[in-house]
Amino acid sequence: MAGRRKMPYDIFCDNATNFVGASNHLKELKQFLFKDETHKEIINFCSSDFINFHLIPPRAPHFGGLCKTAVKSGKGLLYSTLANARLTLEELSTVAVEIEAILNSRPLSPLSADPNDFEALTAGHFLVGYSLRALPERSLEDRNTSNLDRYDMITAIKQRFWRRWSADYGNEL
């Protein structure tokens, strides 16, 4: 995350209980993360960079609230959108960045009380200072993806994700 954005001010963690049901491949990592000295090192590192580290109670994922709901929704739609796609690493990275922009463009609240102002506060305002926007593109989501070139296929995937996500997000509002 710090490679794409700056260092965070706050980190919210689900107290590593999500590792409990993980496979044996994560066993070594889990043992490392549950050590008291590891927790102390993480907190010391974070406090030296003025990062606030927040742990929710163990075995209480409902404390994650809206963050968990948004992640669950995004993951489900991403999986269904990419289920049959065969992408290179660069193409997958491009799709991930495009979907990140879609999710960070969701309206959180109105920017003003003026009913004629249709501008909404988005996650993009917190990330870059203004709403994220993309150039308009022709609709490709209804075309057969096997007949599209690679760039058009990525655009079609993005448009399919947007259509599904906007319908789901609109229902949640």
User: Is 70 exceeded by the pLDDT of residue 98?
Assistant: yes
Instruction: Tell me the C-alpha distance between 109 and 78, whole Å.
Output: 25
Q: Is 156 exposed, middle or buried (0-12, 13-18, 19+ CB in 10 A)?
A: buried
Tell me how far apart the alpha carbons of residues 11 and 99 are, in angstroms, rounded to a whole number.
22
Tell me which of 11-15, 70-74, 109-113 is least confident: 11-15
User: Is 142 a residue whose pLDDT tops 80?
Assistant: no
Q: What is the rounded average pLDDT for all residues in the chain?
A: 75
Determine what percent of the chain falls in helix, strand and coil, rounding each to the nearest 5: 55, 10, 35
pTM, two decimals, is: 0.57
- The answer to whether 155 and 144 have CB atoms below 8 angstroms apart is no
pLDDT tens track for 28-63 = 766 777 788 887 887 777 777 667 766 677 666 566
Q: Residue 144's pLDDT is what?
A: 66
Between residues 64 and 37, which one has the greater pLDDT?
Answer: 37
**Is the CB of residue 124 less than 8 Å from the CB of residue 111?**
no
Q: What is the DSSP string of 21-72?
A: TS-GGGHHHHHHHTSHHHHHHHHHHHHHTT-EEEEPPTT-GGGGHHHHHHHH
β-pair type (52-55, 10-13): parallel
